[in-house]
């Protein structure tokens, strides 16, 4: 198979674009898609310093790699979730990546901070593991960004993540979530750090290919807590649709973004004020993270 751009040997065929590309042309494609996402969605500019949430998986490490190559000022944030061997390997991958490129990295280990890892916290609060983990991640991304003066937090969410989230939200008619689902979440006038997803135009397979081609050493193993997670089921269903009809995921998610939100716009503006416990902005008296931790702290 030949590269459609330059006729060298192709390394990847992308059915959704009806094209095949060599390594060099594929890298240009990935950089272009990220650049386009950042520009079109007004995510950030070269004057801002970006905190990149780095898990040690392919998406976040590829994101960091691309942002550096596009000339953005970045630092990495790794939350060590305290999931035994999985977290140890993940942290090692992140630290090695940062050290090899001379990048600034902030590591926040849960076990040192709270005496418990995310599994124990989920168990003690009887919350689904991914739900407790999500609450904790969102809290720390925002808190650490605000404390350290980063206006933007970038995460490695890709097209498959967003399309599967959209499918889940539609299947359950989560109208409030549908209204909020976007590659950019506003900083609400400086109350939060702005949350952005610069990989939303790229399929999970394309990001894995980018990581392999660029010799990015990421953790291939699944998070042990994600077994049986609904998102994985939705991704599987969407991939079956994609194989039967290439471009389905792209049309589904990007089509959603182009549609007016008025039909689902039911939520009233949220009145935010400081959490009574930690001071972070929250619509309630106590934020979700502090409510979670109150249930595990004696």
Q: Which is nearer to another protein, 40 or 243 (CB)?
A: 243
Interaction pattern, residues 100-129, with another protein; x per rule: CB under 8 A: -----------------------------x
**Is 133 annotated as belonging to a binding site?**
no
Q: What is the phi-psi region of residue 169: left when phi exceeds 0, alpha when psi lies from -120 to 50, beta otherwise?
A: alpha
Are 61 and 216 in contact, with CB atoms under 8 Å apart? yes
Instruction: Tell me how far, at minimum, the Cβ of 223 lies from another protein, in Å.
Output: 6
Interactions with another protein, residue window 144-183 (CB under 8 A): 160-161
Closer residue to another protein, CB minimum distance, 72 or 195: 195
Site string for another protein, 61-100 (x = CB under 8 A): ----------------------------------------
Between CA 163 and CA 161 the distance in angstroms is 6
**At its nearest, how many Å lie between another protein and the CB of residue 145?**
19
Half-sphere exposure at residue 59, Cβ-oriented, CA atoms within 13 angstroms: 21
**Which residues make beta-bridge pairs with 51?**
75, 153
The pattern of x and - marking residues 212 through 231 that bind another protein according to CB under 8 A reads xx------xxxx-xx--x-x
The closest alpha carbon to 222, from 232, 233, 212, belongs to 232
Q: Is 1 an interacting residue with respect to another protein (CB under 8 A)?
A: yes
Per the annotation, does 287 bind a ligand?
yes
Q: What angle do CA 145, 200, 194 make, to 5 degrees?
A: 25
Query: Is 223 among the annotated ligand-binding positions?
Result: no
Rg of the chain on CA atoms, in Å: 19
The reply on whether position 30 binds another protein by CB under 8 A is no
SS3 string, 204-240, reads HHHHHHHHHHCCCCCCCCCCHHHCCCHHHHHHHHHHH
**Does 288 engage in binding with another protein (CB under 8 A)?**
no
Name the one range near another protein by CB under 8 A: 6-14, 41-49, 191-199, 269-277: 6-14
The residue (of 203 and 292) whose beta carbon lies closer to another protein is 203
Interaction with another protein in 186-215: which residues (CB under 8 A)?
Answer: 203-205, 207-209, 212-213
- H, E, C per residue of 3-56: CCCCCCECCEEEHHHCEEECHHHHHHHHHHHHHHHHHHCCCCCCCCEEEEECCC
Residues that bind another protein (CB under 8 A): 1, 10-13, 15, 20, 23, 57-59, 129-131, 133-134, 137, 160-161, 203-205, 207-209, 212-213, 220-223, 225-226, 229, 231-232, 235-236, 239-240, 242-243
């Amino acid at each position: 198979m030949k590269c459609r751009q330059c006729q060298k040997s192709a390394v990847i065929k992308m059915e959704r674009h009806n094209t095949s590309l060599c390594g060099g042309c594929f890298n240009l494609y990935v950089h272009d898609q990220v650049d386009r996402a950042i520009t079109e969605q007004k995510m950030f500019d070269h004057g801002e310093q970006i905190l990149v949430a780095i898990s040690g998986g392919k998406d976040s490490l590829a994101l960091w790699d691309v942002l550096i190559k596009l000339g953005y000022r970045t630092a990495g944030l790794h939350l060590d979730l305290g999931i035994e061997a999985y977290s140890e390997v993940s942290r090692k991958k992140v630290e090695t990546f940062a050290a090899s490129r001379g990048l600034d990295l902030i590591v926040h280990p849960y076990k040192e901070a709270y005496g418990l890892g995310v599994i124990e916290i989920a168990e003690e609060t009887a919350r689904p593991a991914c739900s407790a983990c999500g609450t904790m991640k969102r809290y720390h991304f925002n808190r650490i960004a605000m404390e350290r003066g980063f206006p933007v937090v970038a995460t490695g969410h890709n097209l498959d993540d967003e399309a599967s989230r959209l499918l889940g939200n539609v299947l359950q008619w989560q109208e409030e979530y549908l209204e909020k689902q976007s590659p950019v979440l506003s900083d609400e006038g400086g109350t939060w750090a702005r949350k952005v997803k610069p990989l939303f135009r790229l399929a999970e397979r394309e990001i894995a290919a980018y990581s392999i081609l660029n010799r990015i050493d990421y953790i291939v193993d699944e998070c042990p807590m994600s077994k049986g997670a609904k998102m994985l089921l939705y991704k599987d269903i969407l991939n079956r649709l994609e194989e039967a009809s290439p471009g389905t995921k792209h049309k589904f998610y990007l089509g959603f973004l182009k549609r007016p939100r008025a039909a689902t716009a039911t939520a009233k503006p949220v009145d935010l004020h400081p959490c009574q416990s930690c001071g972070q902005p929250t619509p309630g008296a106590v934020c979700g993270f502090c409510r979670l931790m109150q249930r595990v702290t004696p």
